[in-house]
Amino acid sequence: MSKVADIVFAFNNREMLKLLKERYDCLCKCKYDEARKVEVELTKLKDSHYDELVIPNTYYCTFMRGEA
């Protein structure tokens, strides 16, 4: 019996991460109106694709021993 050393989950959240970076850039440049527009896009994406964003679609598992 092998023990699991680590599990990493992957999510289908690329668009969400892009929007978060865009909002971050706007906030850093004090472009608050643009940041609010991005916030609306983030909310729409979250509302329409919630399950895809929070349920892992892939995982990578590392075991303690190489024979597993």
Locate the domains of the chain by residue range: 4-63
Q: How many CA atoms lie within 13 A of 22 on its CB side?
A: 16
Q: Is the pLDDT of residue 23 over 80?
A: yes
Which DSSP symbol is given to 20?
A: H
Tell me: the pLDDT tens digits for 25-39?
999 999 999 999 999
- CA 65/CA 55 separation, integer angstroms: 28
What pLDDT shows up at residue 17? 96
pLDDT band at 41 (very low <50, low <70, confident <90, very high): very high
Answer left, alpha or beta for residue 30, where phi above 0 means left and psi between -120 and 50 means alpha.
left
